[in-house]
Amino acid sequence: MFGLSGRDATLFVIVTVMVLAAPILLNPFPEGSALSQFNAGYPALMQRFVIFGILVIGFNILFGLTGYLSFGHAAFLGVGSYAAVWMFKLLSYNIVPAILLSVLVAGLFSVLIGYICLRRSGIYFSILTLAFAQMSYALAYSVLTPITNGETGLQVYTNDPQMLAAPGDPNVPHLFGWEMNASTDLFFGGWKFTFETGYYLCGILLLLSFYLAIRIFRSPFGIMLRAIKTNQNRLHYTGIATRPYMLAAFVISGMYAGLAGGLLAAMDPLTGAERMFWTASGEIVVMAILGGAGTLIGPVLGAGIIKYMENIVSKINDGVLELWFSALPEGVENAFVWLLHPFIGKGWNLTMGLVFMLVVIFLPGGLVDGGRRIGRLFRRRRRTGDAASTTTERQPGE
């Protein structure tokens, strides 16, 4: 199927079904119910799921395959966003030129950064990428204000030229007239499902990005990147120049980040320097490690979990907790609210920290590694049960 093996094709089909059915799968609870707080099927959040999934898939090509840890990938995300918004200002709200330029500019920027940073490896490479990201943030925040609009952020104004805009074009980001924020609501009993044009555009690009990542992972190029991660010195001893492979992986990863930045701008045509700050780069690293660096589906899972907790757990307050435990005696109810209060609302980072700590300690390979362990456990029990039944059938006298 499309040049994929049976196992990879099955994985791709599963991801495709999950992306297409996400507005339904992420709304498991009826509107107005006590558990509707956990519904995540609204377009703004679903778009962030897929956009950051694209971002971390690209980061995983560099970190997961080569082992080179970049702490500066948010710089390419920010550059892509700035390029997209400038296309909105100069040409039109059509997202095609904006996304194309965001990928191109991020790719060129990553060539420059990668050419310098890849002269070092290990912690020195990581520190160099972090330094370049912070330099980019400082330039965007204060030095290059005519281009970035500084701390206010770059946005589209009514007096911008938009030279390619036609009189009947929408005044919002669109795809040849299809508005990105156009949506259709479907009501089924107590459930409400929202299907938005922008989400499905981002979802299709996620599937294309995921398919490309699979092909890279299974290609000779991907095998060479794995060899670099395993033992780069041996490759040097055999006369193989590894830097071109590393630079290619770095640029591909940067272009994925540029695509994600362009999509963020298409979702909301406003961008600021905060997208390039070092904490944004650290969040990308956490997403990859949480899901499973070096795996195909792991980065997507990690991005989804973190964005879910950031947008859902952070909205839970004491009032919601009191509603959940209202059936308990007042003293017990107050105790549960007091115990859980630090982990909700603004304390969602504490919850995320505990989850990340448990994954790193008990599942070093990420959540995908946990799924594999559970699968092996069930297969082992099934084989043990089959062997026991066979032994029982062979006993004499039966």
Collect all residues with Cβ–Cβ distance below 8 Å to 133 and sequence separation of at least 6: 71, 72, 73, 74, 75, 276, 278, 281
pLDDT for 252 equals: 96
Indicate if the pLDDT at residue 260 is higher than 60: yes
Owner of token pair 């092909």: 215
Boundaries of every domain in the chain: 6-311, 318-361, 363-398
Binning pLDDT at 50, 70 and 90, where does residue 91 land? very high
Binning pLDDT at 50, 70 and 90, where does residue 390 land? low
- Write the pLDDT tens digit of every residue in 95-125: 999 999 999 999 999 999 999 999 998 899 9
Interatomic CA distance for residues 74 and 77, integer angstroms: 5
Which carries the bigger pLDDT value, residue 329 or residue 103?
103
Give the range among 21-35, 273-287, 380-394 with minimum mean pLDDT: 380-394
Binning pLDDT at 50, 70 and 90, where does residue 386 land? low
| Concatenated DSSP letters of 59-117 | HHHHHHHH----S-THHHHHHHHHHHHHHHHHT-SBHHHHHHHHHHHHHHHHHHHHHHH
pLDDT for 398 equals: 47
The whole-number average pLDDT for the span 230-244 is 89
Longest pairwise C-alpha distance within the chain: 94
What topology is assigned to 6-311 in CATH? ABC transporter involved in vitamin B12 uptake, BtuC (1.10.3470)
Indicate if the pLDDT at residue 297 is higher than 70: yes
Which carries the bigger pLDDT value, residue 188 or residue 81?
81
pLDDT for 394 equals: 59
pLDDT for 166 equals: 83
Share of the chain above pLDDT 90, in %: 51
Indicate if the pLDDT at residue 182 is higher than 70: yes
Which carries the bigger pLDDT value, residue 223 or residue 6?
223
